[in-house]
Amino acid sequence: MTTIPQPQIAPAHPNAEPGTQFAVHNPATQEVIGTLPNMTANQIAEAVAKAAAAQVRWAATPVRDRMRVFSRFAELLCDQKDSVAAVISGEAGKPEAEAMSTEVMVVLDTVKYLQNHVPAFLKPEPVPHGNPVMKLKGGTLLREPYGVVGIISPWNYPFNLPSIQTLTALATGNAVVLKPSEFTPYSSLELEKLLRAAGLDPDLLQVITGDGAAGAALLAANVQKIVFTGSVATGKRVAQAAAARLLPVVLELGGKDPMIVLEDADIDVASSAAVWGAFMNAGQTCLSVERCYVQEKIYAKFLEKCVEKTKKLRIGSSCLQTKAQAGVPVPQDSPESEIDMGPMIHERQLSIVQSHVKDAVARGARLLAGGKPLTQLGPNFFAPTILADVDHSMKIMREETFGPVLPVRGFKTEDEAVALANDSEYGLAACIFTNDRKRGEALARRVQAGTVMVNDVLTCFGISEAPHGGIKASGIGRTHGRFGLEEMVWPKYVDSDRMPRMKKLWWYGYGPAFGQQMGGFIELLFAKGLTKRLRGGVKSTKSYLRRRLL
Ligand code: NAD
């Protein structure tokens, strides 16, 4: 383990007054990275008004020209990946390796996805008609941008979440006003900087800074859609505020994702997946393995492997940004560049984790690794923790822990595993480990979750084509892939009649027999049996000859 000097404890963010400044801290060292304004409701409304004016021009810009900005952005991000990763790592505390693989790389892949798919996605789509009477019309589906999309983001993936959502909104012709978490705003400011350097009109993406009050002000401003990512509690407040204005929302909320390990699984692979899935980003991932169910035959061996691997993890801090700012060179082979797990974001999050572990142990769980803060590293470090023999009476199996804890329990049958996995208020993602892919895929259909991975964990977020989002308390709507694109546009249906000089048979001038004739027409189309249909056809013929149309 890397040891760093004991830092001063930073104060928790006060519920700041708009118009004041707030400080952003490195969660590993507590050093102040910088201070930013708590923007006022007026400033936020002004940003939205400017975005709305710019959006009109942007929506009229051909898609290929929009994509040129994206190409330049991708080039710049690729060139500046080290400095961007250092900003992410500095304010979120994650290892630089994770900042690269789970943030920068995913964003670059999204740009590629958008470049490859958005031109076709925005092409008018023909809507063929089934009803023979409607065959004389041509139907077309258009996808219209909402206007200004308000994006509100959390701190755990401070670059990839706001970037993916912003790029998707911009690609489809929207403008964006983005409110990042008050704990990690600098990653969003990097995104803003890069897009502007790539040639984007500065009004089309504006980052507004501040805490929850700034998010609430964005909801109250003249945005046409909100994409919110964060906790269930805040998500409910956002949904209420949006409902009052009938504002469409996407809610990407918390999870309590289960992992099911069947007895035929490769124990070495499954235990590595569990350890990475539970401890990556210090367990602060919406898709983290928060519950693990292992078939009884391999339960003991699986736990043994997990403990062995957990003990090998190196905990510490990359601190690249802080060191770089101080002019201290960070060689690639220094212990700092080798850490596996960093700190948690703040002490409030750490105390939730601690209380869940304490509750589980008090109710009979066995603590096999970790279980305590690593105060020698700093106030936000918590040891990667393994709990065995947990049950569903424990908070650790019911509430989102959002920290480095792997709680494990055994099961006998597949039915029991499915029942346990589905016994949750959440439904974000799940994973199943088995050497029999067909068995895994069949089981996946029975698990209530937005995504189920067979023989991998978390990685689904890095697949730009795959929709991301949950059911139950995990949220509403999707980001990423085709479903993510659909969330950024509203469907406009245009119908064009091919016979502009012809009055329609069903218009006014019904007369006494038209109802009967229509009845005959219905029979012609839908009745069972040829005789009935032919009889209906005869009854309806006179309707085609109606002359008294108004
Ligand atoms: P949070 O709900 O505390 O804050 C999220 C954002 O909402 C922040 O920018 C915050 O300033 C803002 N906010 C707070 N009050 C607001 C209000 N009244 N109106 C509008 N905005 C307001 O969440 P967090 O602690 O930043 O993030 C952790 C949570 O996010 C976890 O529950 C995690 O599971 C979830 N999450 C979900 C996904 C997903 O894709 N489903 C991804 C990442 C994180």
Ligand 1 pocket check: which of 44, 102, 152, 280 to mutate, most ligand atoms within 8 Å of Cβ? 152
- Alpha carbon of 252 to ligand 1 centroid (Å): 9
Segment 434-443 long-range contacts (CB within 8 Å, at least 24 positions apart)? 434/262, 434/264, 434/265, 435/264, 435/265, 435/266, 436/262, 436/264, 439/262, 439/264, 440/262, 443/260, 443/262, 443/414, 443/417, 443/418
> What is the residue with the minimal CA distance to atom 22 of ligand 1?
212
- Alpha carbon of 212 to ligand 1 centroid (Å): 9
Same domain, 91 and 120: yes
Same domain, 267 and 242: no
Same domain, 160 and 207: yes
Residue 327 — pLDDT band, cuts 50, 70, 90? low
Q: Which one of 492, 511, 534 terminates a domain?
A: 492
Would you say residue 473 lies in a domain? no
DSSP secondary structure letters along 184-230: SHHHHHHHHHHHHHTT--GGGEEE---SHHHHHHHHHSS-SEEEEES
Taking the alpha carbons at both ends of the chain, their separation in whole angstroms is 87
What residues form DSSP beta bridges with 151?
Answer: 178, 227
Active site residues: 252, 286
> What is the residue with the minimal CA distance to atom 8 of ligand 1?
181
Would you say residue 518 lies in a domain? yes
Chain-wide mean pLDDT for the chain?
A: 93
Instruction: Inform me whether the pLDDT recorded for 250 exceeds 80.
Output: yes
Please report which helix (H) or strand (E) contains residue 258, including its range: strand 258-261
> What is the residue with the minimal CA distance to atom 16 of ligand 1?
212
- Alpha carbon of 406 to ligand 1 centroid (Å): 23
- Beta pairing class for 225-229 and 385-388: unpaired
Q: Closest ligand 1 atom, CA of 475?
A: 41
Per-residue pLDDT tens digits for 158-181: 999 999 999 999 999 999 999 999
Would you say residue 26 lies in a domain? no
- Alpha carbon of 194 to ligand 1 centroid (Å): 24
Q: Closest ligand 1 atom, CA of 182?
A: 11
Same domain, 204 and 111: yes
Same domain, 192 and 214: yes
- Alpha carbon of 235 to ligand 1 centroid (Å): 7
Q: Supply the range of the domain harboring residue 116.
A: 43-253+484-492
The pocket around ligand 1, CB under 6 angstroms, is made up of 152-157, 161, 179, 181-182, 211-212, 215-216, 219, 229-231, 234, 237-238, 252-255, 286, 400, 402, 428, 475
Q: Which residues contact 55 (CB under 8 A, 6 or more apart)?
A: 145, 147, 148, 173, 174, 175, 204
Per-residue pLDDT tens digits for 334-383: 545 579 999 999 999 999 999 999 999 999 999 999 999 999 999 999 99
In single-letter form, the type of residue at position 96 comes to E
Instruction: Inform me whether the pLDDT recorded for 321 exceeds 80.
Output: no
Same domain, 185 and 241: yes
CA 526/CA 405 separation, integer angstroms: 60
Same domain, 394 and 248: no
CA 356/CA 353 separation, integer angstroms: 5
Same domain, 262 and 249: no
CA 436/CA 443 separation, integer angstroms: 11
Same domain, 248 and 267: no
Q: Which residues contact 62 (CB under 8 A, 6 or more apart)?
A: none
Same domain, 150 and 61: yes
CATH label of the domain that carries residue 273: 3.40.309.10
Per-residue pLDDT tens digits for 406-420: 999 999 999 999 999
Same domain, 190 and 232: yes
